[in-house]
Structure 1
Amino acid sequence: MLGVLGAPVEAGLLQPLLGLPDWVDFSIQFTSEPMGGIQGGLNPSASSWFQNTVVGLSLGSGLNKPEKNWKELDHWQVNLELTNQAGNPNLNTELGSAFPLQTLVNPVGTWITAASVERNRGESWWSASAGLLSMDPDFLVTPAMNSYINSTLNNTLNLLVVGLPINPFVTPGVKVAAHSETMGSLAYGYFHLDPETSIAASLGVNPEQPQVQGGVQALQWSINPLRSRQDLLEPIRLNNSHVTVERMLPAPEAQLGSYLASTKLPSAQTPGMGSGLNRGIYGSLTWPLDVPLGMDNRLWAAGSLSLDPDNNPFPTFLGGGWLSQGVLPNRPLDVLALGVSRTSFSPTLSPGATYEGVIELNYSIHVSETVQLQPVMQWIINPGGEGQVQGIWAGGVQLNLNL
């Protein structure tokens, strides 16, 4: 029998501590991202601490059953989630960067971040969800980008059209998807935007966006182009022994999608935000890399293109990077990540601005299933996009606690 190091646990630490039944999953995730400037920018000594706490509750008869034994009722579950965000969200402004250097940065306060009914695919051909939803993680998300900290790299392809329901924003919506082992997955989503701002403010948050009217639709196809490489989905064997470790890197994936947003915003409140019709296409590719470094490697590339650049504040995004698991001896679950991104500015909404770029290097230290540390270094290129601010060197760390 093979022993697996770092394999996912069935539930968080709180599950057995509270003695919850098998049809209940309760979790708390705490993430903190202290970060500060090192050199360059408007104020090189600027620093901030930002954190969020996510409390999640899922109810469903199939939560702790093998999928092969599921009956129809077992596919269904109810999801509830609250997120509290706290700290100083202004580090990028103090440094002169257009985009937050930290993934977590949003208006502080407590948000409703999920209230939905979901049908999990299991071993069937379809899945669905309805309720208060965000577009992510089903749309605009490349799994490889979850390994980064800068908001342009760990983000929904840095798509920042005001009103798009991207976490922590939620709004009434529905998602449906069809799945095929040979043809991949095709997903569609529709989101009604009118109540989005009031939902965000329902627990006291100032969402820092005007009341939005309209809707968003998204269509996305994704597939594993290397389905025959089952070894890339299995644990990694250590030195030809009977001990294996969890594979931390995502499976190969090709993704192609599009979105259509029709929004109406109070013009007096939205200078430079853009409203009306926003259409775009996006795609990504994650591919294995065989090199004599580490135990497992991935290259990835992703991009998005707006078809309405006069209404989209950031009409193009390009990103790419390299991930390597187990580059240091005796640290098989750690991941080294190098990433690069470039985001353009709308010539109509931001005249005089061209682009802002980021290069990030980080190293994820797997202390345990409960604790992970991720030191990071970032270089912000052409901060603000106008060539008036010196490039920024910044550093920090991300701390994850999964309870």
Structure 2
Amino acid sequence: MMVRRADDRRLRLVLARPTGWISGAEIPSRRQPARRRDVLPEMIEMQDGLLERCERGESLVLLLDGADGEGVLVTGAVAGRVPNGSETPDLLDRAALGASVFLRERMRTEKRQQLPDQLIGYFEALNAAETEDDVWRALANHALRIVVAHTAVALVRDDRGVLRAPAAADARPGEHRPCILWDDRLAAPGLVLSEDARASGAAPFMVPLFGDPATALLAHVPVGTEGVLVLTERREERIFEPEDWDVLRALALQAEMALRRVRLIESVRSLSLTDPLTALGNRRHMEVVMAHAWAAARRGEPLVVMALDLDGFKEVNDALGHEAGDDMLRAVAHALRAEARGSDVVVRYGGDEFLVILPGGSVEGALALAERVRRRVDGQIGISAGVAAYAPEMSAPDHLVREADRRLYEAKARRRAPVG
């Protein structure tokens, strides 16, 4: 997900001479000097309040062409002398340079004034982040506004060395996400120019991020060892100031801390929802999953629960010891994980009893799963299973679980019953 700023603001040039006022024209860039035809030579009346509008910081530049061979450039509350050349276009080109300097200074001042509030907003977004993708998106969004770049994107490194942008929160399936291959040069902050991002350039791995032909340069800052923040700029006169780099490093550092916090919370949550012996979900995990599956069942989605336990587990424990019993539990857990569907949720319900939640499943499918697990652990331990399907008359998830338990005990009783 790449974020983009609004269109650049442009200054307007108003040229004044002792003989009167002539047209306003958009300031040319330094590399494309204005020609004489760009300034209409028609006389116009002096606009009331023009100087006051400049002093208020409006997007106007007033160039006074003096008779002494120098011009005076007035931009907002700033004034500076511009040496006059032999031709008007040269004067306008010099004015463009002065205006560019003024624009950068005004942007720098505005950024300094807005920085405290923007940092507070960034910290609040990081604190509210619940996932790693939330952190990466907050970093890109706020870096764009704080540094005032043209685009910003946070790229996350995967195990294959590919840097890819996290998906947008409302992304459509298959939506394009910017990505590049990792390069060791990204391990430190740096700047890449458009001429470097070519197949024959100094940084060909950056080519995918220069898809916009107007992109002039790109700044990158690492985020730990797992990602990089990338900002692009279109304006040729735009430079990333030393204070911009300081801010970007600080933003990246805060993002690293937020990522550690999110991972720590996820680790604690995982521990609280995971059985330490089998690495399956525990009863609390089952309750969380069942709440969602139950709501879907109420809307008409099929829901099946299977209770499963080990036959003669107590005897195994008594005869061979608890370590052997633990090995049996892990073996059954492994078999359940291997045979269950990706949408099924397997939990250790307690002791030697397991529970499988099958959203969208069927009784037949659950019984087939139990049979596949039996075959996997055949010769190690026997298992019994009870299966129950959701019915509209059931008023709570516990009723479905109790019904599966009841059928499990019926199955165990049948296995114990004498034959004949």
TM-score, length-normalised on structure 1? 0.19
- Hey, which of these two has a bigger chunk of strand by percent? 1
Which structure is larger by alpha-carbon Rg, 1 or 2? 2
- Hey, which of these two has a bigger chunk of helix by percent? 2
Q: Which has the higher contact order (CA 8 A, sep 6+)?
A: 1
